[in-house]
Each structure stands twice: as C-alpha cells, then as structure tokens.
Structure 1
Amino acid sequence: MNAVEIEAPIVGVTVYPDRARVTRRGSTRLAAGEHRVRVAPLPLGLRRDSLRVGGRGAATVLGVDVTTWRQARSVDGQVRELEQRARELADELAGVDDADRIEEQRGQFLARLAERAGGTYARALASGDADPNDVVTFADSVAGQLSDSHGRRRGLARRRTDLTEELAAVQRQLDAASGKRQPDRLAAEVTVSVDADDAELDLELTYLVDGARWQSSYDLRLVDDTMTVTWFGLVSQDTGEDWPECVLQLSTARPAAAAGVPELSPWYLDRIRPAPPQTPMPAASFDRWPGSPPPGAPPALTGGAARSGPPLPKVRESVAAVEQGVSAATYRPARPVAVPADGSAHRATIAVLDLPALLDHVTVPVHAAEAHLRATVRNTSAHTLLPGPAAVFHGADFITATRLPTWAPGEETELALGVDDRLRVERKLRRRADTRATLGSTRRRDVEYRINVANHTPRPATVEVRDQLPVSRDEAVVVREPTLTPPPAERTELGELTWRLRLAPGESTEITMGFRVELAKGIELAGWRE
C-alpha cells in the first residue's frame, strides 16, 4: 500500500457561537491500487467523531484514521533574531561594566596622585623650588580629568539602564514566542485509505474544532425618525491553526444546545419532616473569586474647496448574504476574512437595517430634574438580532454604550439617547403642614408638589413624567386624599404615577400632586423624604 501526503488547505469555515466547522480540500494523482493518503498537520483539538471525508474521483474510501503526530519543532526566524539580539545586548552590557571599572580605577588613581602630589608641591613651594603657576596647572589638569571620568561614568550608567531594559523586553518577547510555539509540538493527522483507479482524486475533509466563536456587536445611529442598525460579527479563534481568507460563514445555530429536548420529571409534594440532628463540623474557609469605549463617530470633514456638480452618493456598506434555516440562520460576509489563531477579534458586517423609531422623552423629577430622550424601535426586518454590545449615536454624536438583548422580528426595544437639555423640568415642594386634629390624637402631614415641564425644542415633544405617592406598610400610618391634577394616565398599587404630556414647541405645563399622611397616637414616621 503506497503512502501519499497531500496538501489540503482550508477553503471554508462555518463559525458557530462556540465552535467552528472547517473544510479542507486537496488533489493528487493516484495510480491504480490501494493508497494511504495522509493530511497533516491538523489541530490537536479537532473532534474526531465529527470528521467526514468526501470528494470526487474514481476511488473508494476504505477507512479513515486520526492519530496524534509529533510535529518537528520548526526553526522560527523571529526567535533566532531575538536570541541573537539578546546575546548582543549581553555582550554590550559586559563591555559597559568593563568600561565602568576602568573609569573607577582611573578616578582612584587620579585621587591618589592628587593627594601625593599635594604634599610634594607644598614642600617645594615652601622651599621656593616650585613655581605656583605649575602647581595651578597641575591641579587644573587633575580636576579636569576627574570631571571627565565622572561624566563618562554617568553616561555608562545611563547606557547600562537602557541596555538592561531592552534586554528585559527581548527576553519577554522570547518567552511569549516560546509559549506560543509550545502547543504546536503535537498535532493531529488524518490518514485516508483508498482503493483508486489510475485517476485524479479530489479529497475533501470537514471537522469540528473547539476554541472558535463569534459574537454580535452593533452601531445604532438615529437620524430623524429612523434607527440605522449596523450588525457586525466579531470572529475570534485559538484553535491552533490559522484560517486564511476563505469562504467564511457565521451561523446562529448552537450545536451544544441541540443534544435533546428537556424531559419533565414528577413534581412531588410532601410534609416537612424534621431533619436528624447532625454533629457540627468546623467551617471551611474558601477564597472567593470575583465575577468592555466603543469608538465615537468620525470627525466631520471640513475645509477645502466647495465641490461643484451633483452631490456624491452615500457610501454603501457590503453586507452578508443570509440563508434562513429551520431553526437558525447562516450569514456569509461579502468579503473574505482571514482569522489567525491568536484570539484577536476580526469584524465582518452582517447587515445594515433601517428601522422605524418613535421618539419621546422620559423624566423622573423626584430623582433628577432631567428629561431623557428615548427611542422605541421596532425590528421590522427578517433578522433575529443576537445579544451583544452596542454603540448608540444620535446623528454623528456618540451618546452611550449599551447592550442589546435578543431582538426578534416584530419586537420593540427601548434605547436611551441621553439627556435633552432643551426640555426643562422642575419639581418643587409648594406646601407642607403638620397639624393635630381637633378631636382625638391623630396627627396629619399635608404636602403638595408641583412639577413644571417646558418644551424648548423646535418640534412637538411627547413627555412621560414619572412620580410616586408613599405607600403605607402599617395600619397606624394612612395615606389619604391625593390631589392629582391632571389625572395620571397610569397608577399602580405601589403608588407609581405616570403622566403622558404632549407639548408644542415653546409650550409648558404643570402637574400638581398633593396628599395627606395620618399618624396614630405615639407613632413616629419612618421613610419620609422630601
């Protein structure tokens, strides 16, 4: 049986939320007879039960084997360069240390020379045998040489620091490169036994690998009454093999969750039975372990000469082709994307959707006298948008970062678009009175609040105002006679009130909210707030 090794590069990858299906293809010419066709190296973590072999050609597949292959450690040119640089730096550091010791010895020699010469010159000057100018010249010469030596030692110290830092950086790069290369020493190989005629064989392998994933992210841009949703797929993988530019597909299917339908088990009721006493055990001590700014809008292009002629069309974005399945969708980006096995995320545009948005304002003046612009957006597309982070823009301005839940066709979602300072809100306590009833000993507290809302925007505004009445949790504390003008549109049993106001540009309105709290004798009120 002849052994043949063929190259079968990656030609397609389908990425699921938690794994990927990889397709490889290769061709070879086989003589008549039985052959063992070997494909290697493959990622060690491939799921062996997922391997499928197919293809075209006048041949019969007799069997498929998957084995572990000890891959010869390749000589990495970058590692060689780093090791060479580390040796050069170490040699240069040794040279700096030698030069510093020489300068240190020079300084010691000059200091001893100056000390000895000082006594000699002193005696010579006293006896008149030396010229004072010669003494000054000698002293200046020694001082200059000492100063130069100290300067050279300072320069050597700086050079030693620079070399030490560079050597540490090179060593870190070497450690990282060694860590990345370590898993590649073992790989998988597939051997396909075939009985072929004298013909060309086109072989195709598909298999599942863990360590691959994709997740959704979004840009949400509001312009007038339209929310443009740009859906991105962020693909990353650390499967042990790099994916070249090939046919890349993103699938919403979840193979891990499709193993079976949950089954019901009996639901039993019983009376509580006392537990037998247990011998107390000493408590064990455990350490407790704890549980991503999106880019802003690009700056506007200003300046330059005015463009003549008709305006240029808006730049279009390429989107993915979609194939809707029974329970999942598969998206194929318009351009190939290469994804190396380094865990970094690579972005592909899946879809650009223009969805209708209904704008209004929401204010809760009891907490903050601010009005928040809100967009209620309906998913009118055929896409089920998956959970993921989203950057929200109002026109060209970045507003906030949020997270979208699963958003099915026909569903609505609410997006906060930040504070709108053109809509002014004020809440004031207009009256408060504490009195005692004429008969009995019941005490009363009467309060009245007024909320003023003014629209200073150039367009009509719908404002949802939220406030609340206190709710008693004790029969000795009674809340009575609320004054609510105008009546709220909604009121809950927990005292939550909602008004919906429609204000024209420049228009303002006022809400009055008053109530009375009655306290029985000897009762002190808890939970009060202004």
Structure 2
Amino acid sequence: MTTGAAQRWASTLDGVVVYAQGALCRRLARGSVPPGGRVRVTGLPRSMDPGSLRARVLGAPGVRVTEARVDVEAEPAGTGAPDELRREVERLQDAYAAAQDRRDRQLGLIEEVGALRPAPPGRKREEPYRRTPVDAWLELADFVDGRLARLHARLTGLEEELSRVGHELAVATDRLARASTDAPSAHVRTTLCALLTLDGTGDAPAEVEVELEYGVPGAVWVPAYRLTHRQGDDRGRLVLRASVAQRTGEDWTGVRVALATADLRRRTDLPRLRSQRIGRRQPAPAPSGWREPPAGLADLFAGYDAAGPRPTPAGSATAVAAGGAAPGAVPPPPPPPPAPHQGYGGPAAAPLAPGGPVPAPVRSAPSRPAGRPRTGAGAFPAPPAAMAPPAPGAPAAPPPPVTGPPRPSGGELDYAALVLCGPDEPAARRGRLFPDTSFDPVGTEHRRRAEAVAALPLPGHAVRPRESAGSFDHRFDAAARADIPSDGTWHTVTVTEIPVGLRTEYLSVPSVEQTVYATLVLSNTTDQALLAGPVEVTVDDDFLLTTALPTLAPGGVSRVGLGPAEGIAVTRRTHLHESASGLRGSTTVLDHRVHVELANRLARSVTVEVRERVPVTSDPDVRIEERAGWTAVDTGSAPEHHAPGTRVRRVDLPAGGTAALEGGYEIRIPAGKALVGGNRRS
C-alpha cells in the first residue's frame, strides 16, 4: 500500500480509558470510501503500542475492516510555543556561558593584581646592603589596593548578572520541561498513521465512520474525594475526583475520560497444563504454529540467480570484479560452504575453523508451501548458560547436537509481525519468515520517555489504584469531557457524585483526653468500592481538613474525624477505695468509681458516645465485677477495632443540657498479692 493509493482521513481523539498504568485511546475518523477501500488515518501518537491497534466500522453493517497496519510518516514541523521556549532556553544558555566567562576573566585579573609584590634588585657579594625605598613600597600598595577595589566592584556586577541570567535560565528550563510533549522535538515531525483496507464498500453509504483503538504508556491516576456536609443533617455529597498525569505525546482535549483499576498489561492467556507420563522418555511435541520448511527451498531462487547480478542504480558507487567483470555490476555473493549437518528448518552451518569462535545458533523461519497456511518462524534453542567461552588460543569445542524440534519465541509466533525475506537477503534468510525488528526505533524511545510518568510523586494521602483495589477491578466514567495536557503533571478531573450515607456522631474517651470529638460515619451504599485516597471535608461551606479515606467495599462503613467539638464539655473524676473482705480478710477489694459529666452548649440536641475501659485478666484468682449501665462493644458489627475491655455508653443531650454518668468496677485479689505497679491507681 502506497501513499498515493490510500486516501487520507483526519481523526479526532474521542475517549480515553486510563488504567492503573497506561491508557486505551479511542479515535474516530469519517470520510467517503475510495475505490479499492484503502484509507490512511492520521493523527496517531508516536508513543502508541503498534501491536494494540484495533479498527472497526461504525453504523455500516455491510462494511468491515480486513487489514489494519501502522506506518510512520515524516513532515516538516511548524513553529509553535514549545519551539519558542526551546530557542529561549538556547539563548539563555549562551548568555549564561558568556556571563560565566566574563566573571572568570575578572577573577583572573583580581588574582594577577593581588599577586603583585615588591621585588628588590639583586645584590652582588661585595656590595653593601641598601636601604629599602619605603615610599615606593607604599605607592605600590596604594596602586594594588585601588586596582583591587575597582576590580571587585566590577566583579560584584558580573556576579549579579550571572545570578540573574542563571535564574532566567532555570525558569525557562522548567517551563520547557513542563510544556506539553504534543509538540515535535526537532525540525522534522514524525507521526504514526493507520493503513486500513475496507471491504464490502459496494453497498456502503456515502460516508462511513471508523473507530480506532490503541494503547499508550505514560498515563497514571489516583482517586481523590470532596465531602460536603452540613451540621445536623444526615445527608452529604461525596464527589469522586481523580488526579491524572499523562505524558503520552498528545494532548487530551475535550475527551471522555474513564478510570479503571485494572492492569492494562496483565496476562490474559490461559496456563498450559502438561500431561505427566510414566514410562520411556518421549520427545516433546512440536509447538503449535511451526512447520518444517519444504524440501527444495533453495531451488526457488535458481532462476533469479541465473539471471545474473542485479544492476547498480544510477548515482551509486560502481564495483569492478577482479576477474574483469563489466563495470557497474556487483558480483553475486559466493555460495555458502557445504556443511555436514543441518537442523530443523535451519540453514547449513559453516565448518568450524581451528581456534575460531563457536558460531551462534541461527534463527530460521519456514516458508509457506502450497496448501499450508502461513506459519511462524522456528528457532534453535539457545545453548546452555553453563557453557563457558573457550580460553584464548584454545581450539573451540563443537556445540552439542540440537535435539527435538525448535522452540519459537512469542515474537516468532506473532504472525502479523513476520516478514517474508526476499531474494536479496542472505541465503540463510531467503524465503523464510522472520520478525520485523526494524520498525520505528524512535517510537520505542518515545514510549520509554512516556513511562517515566509512573515515578511521579503522589499527592498527599494518595494511594495507587492497584494497591487499594485489592482483588476487584472497577471502572468509573466521568460525567463530562475534560482537558488533560501531555505535560507529566497532576491534573484534577471531576468524575461523578457518589451517593453515601452520613450521620454525625460525637465520641469521647475521657480516660485518655477530656475532649469530645465530632465524627462522620460514612457508609458506601453503592455497588462499587470506594478506593483509598485523600478526602477534603467541607462543613457548612467552610473547608475543615483533608484526611485519608480507606478503601470501602460495597456496604462498608468508616469514620471520618472532624476534630474537637468545642461546644460539648466533658469532665472525668475517679475515686479508689481499698478494703478487705472474706474470712479473716483473705481478699483485697479495690473499688474503682468513675464519674463523668457532660455539658451540651450547642443549639441542637446531640448524642455522645462515651468510652471507658474495664481491666481484663487471665488469672483465675483475680475477679472483676462491673457496675451496671455500661455495655460491651460487639466487635463483629463494629466499624473499627476496639481494645479488649472497652465499654460504651450513649447519652442524649438536649440543647443546653447536662448529664452525669456513674460507673466503675471492683477488683478482688488474694490478700497476699498485689497489682503490678501498685493497687492505688486510677
């Protein structure tokens, strides 16, 4: 398929599904089908995975896509904002280098002037000592001081200029690094396009719509939430938001965004269960897709070789054979030397030269004989890793004989990526199928750069979807289209509003801290799990705090703390009385009394849950008797973990009301024993 034979269709990015790492993009193209059905759809990014391309026709049942391939195009790049930023960075780099050179020259002058010292003239042995001219010394010192003062003043200006240019260079470099990667990085822009062949175009409508789907690396997301609540109301709004970062090489402008917790590169093939055989060893069966090359494959190109050497194109270098061949003709390559052994589907192996290296196994691919479908390439198995290279100068040992059929790799079984080698290839490759490893090496570098976004630091309290999702996978579709530039930074996208159940509870643990805390009990009433992430809590239209929300399965319950409730006061007092009971005072009774007072200064009635603790023991000689009024926590239905011995009591306080709670326990121990740490303690 050539460029002239295919009609060009422009495409528009319509939707993106962002996975835990990577994204699946959906493009739409529309146009009239030309005769022959060959279409070239443009606009694909350079970072796309060529093996992930899918195409289908929408709204035309009689038309289908029979072939889809990826091709690379090159065109001159226009000037844009990133190109201007790049030129600005280059200009500032030159200015910074020039300012640094001027500063260094000034430092050199200061060092030279500072090294000026008076040097007395040489004295002969018979001459007497002469008096030192002090005035000359002082004049030299004044000259050096004045000169250094002017040089240092100039140095101060040069250092300020160097600092200013360095700051401008750092700002410009940061702007260039944060700019979108949708712009080309050179004067020639290379793009990818999809070559499609449409079938059934006889009854096709005037225009058809084609959908392209492909995968790209370099996209990540983490969930975030915004919780809005009003005091005294059992309803609230939980808005699911997502922080999305992508560096795929194309800006997502006005696209439908969906977020998935699945792994885009997870394994999808089923495991292979091999049979267990008892008896004699049997050879392994040939892998599926491999066929032994037919006999007489070398005779397929006999007519091509008999036609003589291929003429050299005009303008290329001419070669003259040593035997007087005609100028401008390239002699054919010499035939390979015969070999005593030939493997499955492989070429003849060259004889070993004395002291030469061991030749590596040659990968081969069978041809497609008549009546057989196209098959994958076969390959000799790699030599064992334990084989050490021969010592220098020592004769090389022949490789061990290869037993069994070749074991082709996954790339050799990828039939769509196999290329049939023509007659101009070496004799070992002519007429055989080999994987095409020369496709778009620049695209590989683009994909490597795009994957660097996975190392981006996470926002506060954020958790990656695969870590919080656990064993389930869910998808969240955004309610509106969004814009996400390809700059590798976090962008917030509003996904949807999730209905949740809310109720306000006030908790107090006065034995630890005499403060009442307000909490929101959040229950997930949807059929999808809520992933762990940061949640911004807003109460009565005032931002309160940002906290972490754990993963909530459908029907799960969690508490979100709102901080101390200043309108509710709590006071706790304790009293301990130690006495003896039993026959002859054989038992020591430690009577602990607890008095808790609550005061509600709010304008509405509230329910406060007060938590206390009762000691627990595993000693049969120690008995603990509790006072009535306090209940134990049901650990099976509680939304959080409670320590053993926790007791709870709920109190309804009207507006401006107070309440007093009495409680406590008695510890009965033998008189000859004592509690660790002393009996008298609260």
Give TM class, smaller chain. Answer: 0.5 to 0.7
Deviation at 1:162, TM superposition (A): 5.5
The Cα shift of 1:425 comes to 1.3
Q: Is the 8 A contact 2:181 2:249 kept in 1?
A: no
Structure 1 equivalent of residue 154 of structure 2: 152
How many Å apart are 1:454 and its aligned residue? 1.9
Write the deviation string for residues 158-190 of structure 1: whole angstroms up to 9, x where unpaired: 5556656766777788899999989x9997653
Indicate the SS of the match to 2:252.
Answer: coil
Question: Take 2:135 and 2:624, find their aligned partners in 1: how far apart are those partners?
Answer: 110
> SS at 1:367's partner residue?
coil
**Counterpart amino acid of residue 464 in structure 1:** E
Deviations 1:140-160 (A, max 9, x none): 777544432333344445555
1:162-311 pair list within 5 angstroms: 189-194=193-198, 202-226=209-233, 227-238=235-246, 240-250=248-258, 254=262, 292=459
Q: Where do 5+ consecutive residues of structure 2 fail to align?
A: 122-130, 271-457, 462-472, 636-643
Structure 1: distance between partners of 2:662 and 2:155: 82
Q: Structure 1 stretches of 5 or more lacking a match?
A: 124-134, 263-290, 295-326
**1:37 maps to 2:45:** no
Q: How does 1:363-512 map to 2 (within 5 A)?
A: 363-376=508-521, 386-395=531-540, 396-403=542-549, 405-406=551-552, 408=554, 413-433=558-578, 435=580, 439=584, 441-476=586-621, 478-484=622-628, 487-490=629-632, 494-512=644-662
* Partner SS, residue 439 of structure 1: helix
- Aligned residues between the structures: 450
SS at match of 1:245: strand
Q: Does 1:83 align with 2:90?
A: yes
CA distance in 2 between partners of 1:344 and 1:142 (Å): 55
Matches within 5 A, 1:315-394: 331-334=477-480, 336-352=481-497, 357-376=502-521, 386-394=531-539
Could you say if the C-alpha distance between residues 210 and 501 of structure 1 is closer, same or farther in structure 2, counting changes exceeding 3 Å? same
User: For the structure 1 residues 527 and 40, does the alpha-carbon distance in structure 2 shift closer, same or farther, using more than 3 Å as the test?
Assistant: farther
Q: Is the 8 A contact 1:455 1:504 kept in 2?
A: yes
Deviates more, 1:138-147 or 1:244-253: 138-147
Write the deviation string for residues 197-247 of structure 1: whole angstroms up to 9, x where unpaired. 796554331234454454432222221333432413315243623243234
Q: Residue by residue, what CA displacement relative to the aligned partner does 1:320-344 show, whole Å, maximum 9, x if unpaired?
A: xxxxxxx97763433x311123443
Cα pair 1:35 1:194 within 8 Å, conserved: yes
CA RMSD of aligned residues (A): 4.9
Q: 1:44–1:187: 8 Å Cα contact kept in structure 2? A: no
**What's the % identity of the aligned pairs?**
20
Per the alignment, residue 328 of structure 2 pairs with: none
- Give, as a single letter, the amino acid of the residue that structure 2 aligns with 1:431: L
Give the structure 2 partner of residue 519 of structure 1: 669
2:101 equivalent to 1:94 = yes
In structure 1, what is the equivalent of residue 286 of structure 2? none
2:56 to 53, 57, 67: 53
The offset of 1:470, in angstroms, is 0.8
* Displacement of 1:89: 1.6
Letter in 1 for 2:566: D
1:222-280 Cα distance to aligned partner (Å, 9 max, x none) = 213334324133152436232432341425685879999x9xxxxxxxxxxxxxxxxxx
Contact 1:228 1:353 in 2 (8 A): no
Show CA shifts across 1:344-385 (max 9, x none).
333333445786743331111122111112334566789875
- Residue of structure 2 in register with 1:22 after alignment: 25
* CA pair 62-223 structure 1, distance change in 2 beyond 3 A: closer
Contact 2:88 2:172 in 1 (8 A): no
Displacement of 1:56: 6.5
Give 1:390 shift.
Answer: 1.0
CA contact (8 A) 1:373 1:416 kept: yes
Q: Is the 8 A contact 2:523 2:557 kept in 1?
A: yes
Alignment partners' CA distance in 2, 1:259 and 1:142: 78
Q: Report the Cα distance in structure 2 between the residues aligned to 1:177 and 1:455, rounded to whole angstroms.
A: 56
Q: Identify the structure with the greater strand proportion.
A: 1
**C-alpha distance 17-158 of structure 1, shift in aligned 2 (>3 A):** closer
State the distance in 1 between where 2:224 and 2:177 align: 34
Q: Could you say if the C-alpha distance between residues 144 and 11 of structure 1 is closer, same or farther in structure 2, counting changes exceeding 3 Å?
A: same
What do residues 16-72 of structure 1 show as CA deviations (whole Å, max 9, x unaligned)? Answer: 566543221234555423535254543544473561322468995563344474978
Cα distance change on mapping 1:119 and 1:178 into 2, 3 Å: farther
Aligned partner of 2:309 in structure 1 is none
Q: Is the 8 A contact 1:45 1:239 kept in 2?
A: no
